Amino acid sequence: MRISYHGHSVVQIQTNGKTIMIDPFITGNPLTDLKAEDVKVDVIILSHGHNDHVGDTVELAKRDHALVVANADLGTFLSWQGVNTHEMHIGGSYQFAFGKVKLTQAFHGSGFVTKNNEMIYCGMPAGILFMNEGKTIYHAGDTGLFSDMKLIGERHPIDIAFLPIGDNFTMGPEDAAYAAKLLNAKMVVPMHYNTFPPIKQDPHKFIKMLDSQNGKVMLPGDVIEI
């Protein structure tokens, strides 16, 4: 399994000949190394409906005939735009041909702002567990710290956890370090920081806060193979 990070909360997973993207915020993302026109994707998984996570989903999904996996409310909204969706909800899992996906709880908001400045409610935010090839990736989405992260780690031993550290909208570094301890992941990667002024953080300081977890700062375009 090949996992790459592309700025903000954009994570790409390549497994069994398929390319899966989580929260493909590419256009307008000042930190990404990607260009939407160069991306080829088979599956898109969304944590929630905020614009900086839905990103280029509709354009990519229509162009590449990709499947979009999201909570039922967000999935319905996207299906109205001609996107092929598979709708799920918190606590549910589904075994796809490309891997197993389970949505976990997350504490955040989930509203999409249209070009006409309308706010569309997009259901509950989620974290994402992706399982394939005997490995488990946890993408926490946008969330604050919550104690059931310990339960998530106990139920699903995690190989790599992507955790937001930006503060202001999500956990800050201190809470994210505590979350890493609860999750007990083999490796922890910070995300959702430095994209906008309110979430400016030093990811290397976060890594030093970790207890016994192996932390890694991934720059946009960096790859981990597990």
Distance between CA atoms of 11 and 19, rounded to whole angstroms?
Answer: 11
DSSP three-state, residue 22? strand
* 52 in any annotated domain: yes
Half-sphere exposure of 189 (CA within 13 A, CB side): 26
224 is a domain residue: no
Residues 6+ apart with CB under 8 A from 80: none
Into how many domains does the chain fold? 1
Question: For residue 45, is it within any domain?
Answer: yes
| Domain-embedded: residue 108 | yes
- 147-170 in b/e form (b: 16+ CB < 10 A) is eebeebbeebebbbbbbbbbbebb
Least confident segment among 41-45, 53-57, 114-118: 114-118
**Ramachandran angles phi, psi of 85, nearest 5°:** -125, 155
Residues 6+ positions from 111 with CB-CB distance below 8 Å: 49, 50, 119, 120, 121, 122
Classify residue 226: in a domain, yes or no: no
What's the pLDDT at 212? 75
pLDDT tens string 73-108: 999 999 999 999 999 999 999 999 999 999 999 999
CATH number, position 145: 3.60.15.10
Instruction: Check: CB of residue 9 under 8 Å from CB of residue 47.
Output: yes
Quote the CA–CA distance of 85 and 88 in Å, as a whole number. 10
Dump pLDDT digits (tens) for 52-76.
999 999 999 999 999 999 999 999 9
pLDDT digit string (tens) for 170-200? 999 999 999 999 999 999 999 999 999 999 9
Residue 131 in domain: yes
Helix, strand or coil, per DSSP, at residue 104: strand
- 20 belongs to a structural domain: yes
Domain presence at residue 82: yes
Domain that holds residue 6: 2-217
How many residues can be counted in the chain?
226
Measured CA to CA, the distance from residue 208 to residue 214 in angstroms comes to 10
Percent of the chain, pLDDT > 70? 100
Q: What is the pLDDT of residue 57?
A: 98
Give the contacts of 97 (CB within 8 A, at least 6 positions apart): none
